[in-house]
Amino acid sequence: MASLATAASEKANIEAFRSDVIDASKTMLVLVDFWADWCGPCKTLTPLLERVVATQADRVKLVKIDVDKNQTLASQFRIQSLPTVYAFLGGQPIDGFQGALGERELKAFIDRLLAGAPLPAGEADAEAEIAALLESAAQASAAGAHDEAAAMLGALARELPERESIAGKFALALLALGQTDAAAEALAAVPTDSKDGDVTRARAAIALAAKAVPVDDLAALKADVAASPDNHQLRFDLAGALLASSDRDGAADALLTIIAADRNWNEAAARTTLLKMFEATGLDDPWSIKTRARLRTVLFS
């Protein structure tokens, strides 16, 4: 009778696993924690898992499996050391680890896996709406309607202040309107080490704005540079004036001329400014690619 009871219990455990893990993982990320009461590290890991998973309960589920009471499952998954955690998504195990991790490591592990997890229906609809608004803003910006783009992006940035990419796009729209101070304010809460491409572009453009100093008589400044071609400060001032007048090519020409003559002049100010221009334009932009090739020719000729 005992063996029959044991077999029935194991069958029930397997059915529960199929429902709680396999089926559930088709709509969310499921973490399976294989543990035992006698396992010391398990007593450290399990409470951390519970706490981290609780912060994202709409997208992550934790299932705890006592290996002493689920020996068939433990055997099927070849559990050789405890604790062992498997991550399931789409009905399949996709990753896992053994041993106790710290809370930060657990969060990083879960965040990485969530990138491939389906969104709940409500969140999916919200993300679709955000994507549509971003597309509308991009179209408005491409058509030169930067005020409309800034209005849409500003509303999104206020609603989703944690989205670095939206803050970056908002700042770029403000920069297109000539609102440098407002663009800097839009990025104030974004971490300084952000790797978002739009944030990088916007910050570079803000830094360039300080160097883009308009002059009343651009022709006179050009004449002064022509009369004193070795005066790097004059030429650097000309580059700033050309930037202010949106003459990107002219500014690059002036900076490249300084670099060719003295690449270390004024602590490599010309090269630093040119690199900022690349960042502000976008490293993959055709203009940046072409001008970077010119810079390489100057540096290595």
Catalytic residues: 39, 42
Residue pair 167/200 in contact (Cβ under 8 Å)? The answer is no
Question: Nearest 5°: CA angle at 86, between 82 and 89?
Answer: 170
Q: Rounded to whole angstroms, what are the CA distances from 61 to 15, 29, 208, 242, 279? A: 17, 6, 48, 57, 41
User: How many C-beta atoms lie closer than 10 Å to residue 299's C-beta?
Assistant: 12
Structure letter (DSSP) for residue 178 = T
Planar angle of CA 239, 241, 246, nearest 5 degrees: 90
Residue type, 108: A
Calculate ∠ Cα 111-74-115, nearest 5°: 15
**Which residue spans within the chain are E strands per DSSP?**
29-35, 60-66, 84-89, 92-98
| Cβ atoms of 77 and 22 closer than 8 Å | no
Task: Compute the half-sphere exposure of residue 136: CA atoms within 13 Å on the CB side of its CA.
Answer: 14
